[in-house]
Amino acid sequence: MASTSDPGRERRAVFVGREPEQAELLAAVEGPPAQRPELFLVTGAPGIGKTALADQVAVHAGERGLRVLRARCWEDSSSPPYWPWTQLLRNLAVTDEPNGLPAPTVRGASLLARILPELADERPDPADAPSVADTGSDRFRLFDEIAALLAAAAAEQPLLLLIDDLHAADEASLHLLRFLVREDRVGGVVIVASAREIQGGPEATGMLGELVREGQVVPLAGLGLSEVARLVEQQTGITPAEGKVAAIFEVTEGNPLFVREVTRLLAATEPLHVPGRVTPPVPDSVRAVIRRRLSPLSADAIRALSAAAVVGRDFDLALAGPATGLPHDHVVAALSHSARLGIITVDEAAGRYRFTHPLFREVIYEDLPLGAHAELHLAVGEALEGRGLDADVEALAHHFAHAAATGAAAKALRYSWRAGDAAMASLAYEDAARQYGRALEAATLADAGEDEHCTLLLRLGHARACAGDYPAAKETFRRAAECARRLGTAWQLAEAALGFGEPQVQSGVSDRELRALLEEALAGVEAGALRARLLARLSLELTFASEAAAQGQLSREAVDLAREAGDAAALGAALRARWMAVWGPDGLQERLSLSHEMRELAVSTGDTALELVALARRITCWVEAGDVRAAEDDLAAHARLADEARMPYHRWTAASLEAMRALLTGRLEAAEERAARALDLGAGRPDAAHAHGNQLTVIRWEQGRLGELHATWRRLVEQFPRLGWARGWLALAEVERGHGAEARQQLHRLSEDLPEQPRDGLWLPTAAVAALAAHELDDRHAAARLSPLLDAYTDRVVAVGMPHPVVCLGSVWLFRALLAAVLADADTDALFSRAATANAQLEARTWQARTACAHAQVLLARGDERERVQERLREARDLAGAAGLPAVLARLAALEADSARSDDAPEIPGTADVAPVEAAADRVDAPAAPAEQFRREGDYWTIAFDGMLVRLRDTKGLGYLARLLANPGRELHAIDLERTEAPPDARRSAPSADDDLTARRDLGDAGALLDEQAKAAYRARLAELEADLEEAERHHDPERASRAREEFDFLTSELTRAVGLGGRDRHAASHTERARLNVTRAIRAAMAKIADTHPTLGEHLRATVRTGTYCSYTPDPRAPIRWNHPAET
């Protein structure tokens, strides 16, 4: 057996089995280097052989030329943040490089010094130091620097990184590991990490769960019976009897550590090679057998090991000895006895000891008597203090926190606070939050003052916010605000309010509680940079609260105060807030000026993040102004800087800008791929999801697939009724689905609301989408309301900003031209010409194609010269064909067919091969009829539309439809339709299913469903509810909004039931009401039957026929349909 001073050799000497697991890991080690790090998680119960398997892989890797680096996570919380990575990087630093690190990391030494303090003195690099310690971008840069270091090292020699006990790693270390395994540029690195069984496997939550999904899990179960026999034989040097092996296997279930301990126990009491039953009782768990293993130890040895267990798996005599209270020579003797029994190993050169397996330490620690833990932690903590190891603040915090109840609360407070500060400086935000939490607990025990409590709460809140735990951070800042109120300290209340405002404002949301807190804090801070920051944050929070005047005043004061204070950080925040305050078409010039100033400030202070923000916002301004060259220059500068800085938010911004540009130039496939990449980069950010949704909407619209997103936009309209942008896209989705009435309803609501809505960043895009819907529906009412709104902005380009542009809808000239076409304005052609020129200058191929297509449609509808129509059609087809725009190409095909039909072509293009569709039960042999017929022939109706003919058996509903088609654009009363007399020979001998209600003349009624007083009360309450709903949405109060919306919908439905079109009363049991029901039901049944056999005509009728007390057929006047007179033949 190997010496106890080398546990690794002992493990290798008795290693058996695991052939499949070894093969899987060695395939990665021996195969070609992967493009990104390969992560293997070796999991299993304690003692199952995870470390032993890693040892075997390390031997093979070393033989094949890989450089093997190893680290171990501590089982308690006394290690500093990033401890496993500190060990790995220290091993990696042992190179032939003059500076001890590969060249790519020289520029980032100040970052690496956060986890490798020794670098700070060797190679200080103040220019590289992050400006603010508590931002996610700083941690990203640290991770990126470590990735560069590993990539450079792996390029020289492939790496195998072994990390033991990953389940004990701090959260920051796990975040770094996840970052690395996602980095494509870190090739040639294999990571094998061992961890105890992860509950939930691939469904596990938390960071370990994410790593399970990122890597490959190699689970270890117990050894088989034959493998247990080999293990026993290698350990004892004899061939064990089958019965003895079976008994060992049964109790241990093949756990190698358990097998070795049971074998050691049995070998001391009976011969294992002799057949027969095992006579002494065998403990039923590995912990029980370890306790049996410890039973021969003396009281001194148990006390020495107990003190050692409190120190950790690795310990030295100088710390453990004083904690025992025993004479030095007694401690040495006790530890020597323990080493002889194989419980610990000794590194005599370093003067350090180690438990041979973590379970030995765990069992000893768990078995300490009540109260002994705190006493021993106190003794170890004092020993650490006595050694002057102030730098080991994490260990001091750990020990004194466990001893706080014994009178060490003041020290626990001091060291936990300092450990939290150290963790923040190391960008280990999760560990910082844990340490500040400990400090707060100790502060309570130590009767610390209110001021200390408040300051700790502020630090804890910042740590939680930096870690991304915003709900917990908000609650912490709320407690800090309460504490600051009791103290009456304005600056602490201000910091609590600013902290409560993290993360920054999200699209569509205004936090009522935050606004109140910021206003309260402002009352106590009269001047200076802090007031400027409060004003800026409050101004931002009003972005979606429809309080433009207040937002403007707050942002102006913030900028003025920040300039007076000369505080660059406050000025940067104020300029960003002011930019958002004038976000809209009327503030373009000021926003452009603010963007210039923001960038100048960023460059002068070396603030890369602010420079990226300034560039992104300036791109928005250039796009809106139609300055393509300036926008392209800033896009290139932003892309370069974002790639160098590699900050997550700005990488997302850059990717979404790429998607916007691809979409504008008509590269739909590339746009969708880049939009998806941006969404991945911005995972977890609401704005990233909103940006992706907007980009995907335009992509689907250009593909003719907008209907796929109908449910999404409907949900948004229901959730935010005043969000015109959503209502506009819902209207267009309804148009695509053929639901003209529903589309018109959304458009009318939008066109009525838009003039009264604040002209913010979404106002002009909303007006543009409304114009598209008005043109699709040929809605003069909406066009007349929308057209004057656009007159002041015809020289602009429509961009949807967040606040960088994620969607560009081309020149406003196009939308003005579309509305002019609906209104039949004399300057329509001139407007289309300007739109074509503007979109060409913008290099917006998608909108160039749509401009030419829409102009061709207008020319064709009014019967313009054939040559001119064909010229526009060719231009549109060239543009749409080159870009690959399915929706435009489909529209062009229809227009070309209409053009051919209007030229009296002998055949309708595209329909020669379409077979007639008939109702299966009513099929008859009939000659093809001319297009656009709707006539009755005996008991059947012959219907021809768009080159397709069907025959349907007569119903009342078809008769009503025929009457409507004969009177396009005219409203017919339901009673008049019902009184229509059919010729005697066409009457049906039996009633049909739609005859269930029969109206009679002059039957009277029971009066109006609602009298005037009731209607007035309903309308007054609706007005109150609308105001209440608007306020609830503005203050982000979903529960109150839901209650108001529910009552609003109920009252609206009651009024709708009682009042018809034009405000006419509906009467209970009235003749008119019965006729309305009969006729509506009959027409809808007939339309459904038509749609089953002739879907194209079904969609046409659904979009053009209205039912109710007054019914009508209103076709598109730009493409009139000539129905034959529906008389009987």
Q: In this predicted model, what pLDDT tens digit does every residue of 216-243 receive, in sequence order? A: 899 999 889 988 889 888 888 888 888 8
Model pLDDT, residue 122: 44
**Last residue of one domain, picked from the residues 182, 204, 219:** 219
Give the span between the Cα atoms of 254 and 261, in whole angstroms: 12
Is 779 inside any structural domain?
A: no
CA 454 to chain centre: 33
| CATH code of the domain covering residue 102 | 3.40.50.300
Please indicate, yes or no, whether residues 865 and 959 belong to a single structural domain of this protein: no
* Pairwise CA distance, residues 526 & 1124, whole Å: 80
Q: What is the C-alpha separation between 522 and 558, in angstroms, rounded?
A: 12
Q: Is the peptide bond before 20 cis (omega within 30 degrees of 0)?
A: no
Q: What are phi and psi of 353, to 5 degrees?
A: -125, 160
Domain presence at residue 933: yes
DSSP 126: G
Q: What does 143-207 look like in DSSP terms, one character per residue?
A: HHHHHHHHHHHHHHS-EEEEEE-GGGS-HHHHHHHHHHHT-TT--SEEEEEEES--TTGGG--HH
Instruction: With CA atoms as reference, report the closest residue to 17 among 294, 195, 220.
Output: 220
Does residue 768 sit within a domain?
no
Structure tokens belonging to residue 569: 């950080």
Q: Is position 646 within any domain?
A: no
Of 234, 269, 291, which marks where a domain is finished?
Answer: 291
Query: How far is the C-alpha of 55 from the C-alpha of 50, rounded, in Å?
Result: 9
Q: How far apart are CA 63 and CA 754, in angstroms?
A: 73
* Domain match, 324 and 350 both: yes
C-alpha 702/C-alpha 671 separation (Å) is 12
Whether 865 and 971 map to the same domain: the answer is: no
528 and 555 fall within a common domain: yes
Q: At what angle do helices 429-445 and 393-402 cross, to 10 degrees?
A: 40
Alpha helix ranges (H) inside 862-1001: 866-883, 886-902, 956-965, 974-978
Residues 508 and 27: their CA atoms lie apart, in Å, by: 51
What is the Cα–Cα distance from 304 to 558, expressed in whole angstroms?
63
Neighbours of 405 (CB within 10 A): 14
DSSP string, 838-859: HHHHTT-HHHHHHHHHHHHHHH
Do 561 and 611 belong to one domain? Answer: no
| 12 assigned to some structural domain | no
Round to whole Å and give the CA distance between 811 and 815: 8
Contact criterion met (CB below 8 Å) for 146 and 84? no
Inter-CA distances, 521 with 455, 535, 558, 1077, 1108, Å:
16, 10, 14, 62, 58
- Given this model, what pLDDT does residue 1014 score? 67
With respect to residue 678, please indicate whether it lies within any of the assigned structural domains: no
Q: Are residues 174 and 307 in the same domain?
A: no
**CA angle 287–292–295, rounded 5-degree value:** 125
Separation CA 1044–CA 912 (nearest Å)? 56
Q: Do 141 and 182 fall into the same domain? A: yes
Q: Do residue 115 and residue 248 come from a single domain?
A: no
Final residue before a domain boundary, out of 368, 394, 416:
368
Closest C-alpha to 1070, from 957, 936, 973: 973
Question: Which 3 state secondary structure label does DSSP give 1078?
Answer: helix
Give me 430's structure tokens: 């999760």
Residue 326, domain CATH: 1.10.10.10
Distance CA 695, CA 529 (A): 38
3-state helix, strand, coil in the chain (%, to 5): 65, 5, 30
User: Would you call 42 helix, strand, or coil by DSSP?
Assistant: strand
Which residues fall within 8 angstroms of residue 433, CB to CB, at 6 or more apart? Answer: 420, 460, 463, 464, 467, 469
Q: Is 447 contained in some domain? A: no
> 842 φ, ψ to 5°?
-75, -10
User: Residue 840 in contact with residue 848, Cβ under 8 Å?
Assistant: yes
Dist. CA 851–CA 861, nearest whole Å: 16
- Beta strands 797-801 and 1105-1106: pairing type? unpaired
- What is the crossing angle of helices 256-267 and 242-252, to 10°? 130
Type of residue at 940: Y
Torsion, CA 420, CA 426, CA 429, CA 435, rounded to 10: -20
- Provide the domain count of the chain: 7
Q: Is the domain of 215 the same as that of 327?
A: no
Which neighbouring-strand residues pair with 1106? 1112
Number of residues assigned to the chain: 1129
> What DSSP character marks residue 1065?
B
- CB distance 515 to 495 below 8 Å: no
In 3-state terms, what secondary structure has residue 472?
helix
53/98 same-domain check:
yes
**3-state class (DSSP) for residue 44:** coil
Instruction: Identify the segments of the chain with pLDDT beneath 50.
Output: 1-13, 95-100, 103-107, 122-134, 201, 203-204, 904-930, 981-1004, 1006, 1060-1062, 1069, 1126-1129
- Cα-Cα-Cα-Cα torsion 1006, 1007, 1010, 1016, nearest 10 degrees, comes to -170
User: Quick one: which of 760, 762, 686 has its CA closest to 727?
Assistant: 762
Structure tokens at 981: 């007399």
Going by DSSP bridges, is the β-strand pair 344-347/352-355 parallel, antiparallel, or unpaired?
Answer: antiparallel
Q: Are residues 33 and 105 in the same domain?
A: yes
Whether 703 is covered by a domain: the verdict is no
CA-to-CA separations, 707 to 518, 823, 847, in angstroms, rounded: 43, 27, 20
Which backbone phi and psi does 129 adopt, to 5 degrees?
A: -70, 135
> 969 with 1008: CB under 8 angstroms?
no
Q: Identify the domain containing residue 517 by its residue range.
A: 504-581
Report the pLDDT value the prediction gives residue 988, as an integer from 0 to 100.
Answer: 38
In order, the DSSP letters of 520-533 are: HHHTT--SHHHHHH
Q: Is 348 helix (H, G, I), strand (E, B) or coil?
A: coil
**What span, in angstroms and rounded, lies between the C-alpha atoms of 33 and 867?**
64
- DSSP line for 904-943: T-SS-TT-TTPPP---GGG----PPPPSSEEEEETTEEEE
**908-948: per-residue pLDDT in tens?**
333 323 333 333 333 333 333 345 788 887 778 888 887 78
The 3-class secondary structure across 365-430, one letter per residue, is HHCCCCCHHHHHHHHHHHHHHHCCCCCCHHHHHHHHHHCHHHCCHHHHHHHHHHHHHHHHHCCCHH
Among 665, 772, 675, which residue's Cα sits nearest to residue 727?
A: 772
Which pair of structure tokens corresponds to residue 567? 């505080």
- In the numeric block, the tokens 């269930």 are attached to 996
Residue that the structure tokens 């396009």 belong to: 968
Phi, psi of 177 (to 5 degrees): -60, -45
Regarding whether 199 and 283 lie in a shared domain, the answer is no
Closest listed residue to residue 969, CA positions, set 1110, 1096, 772, 774: 1110
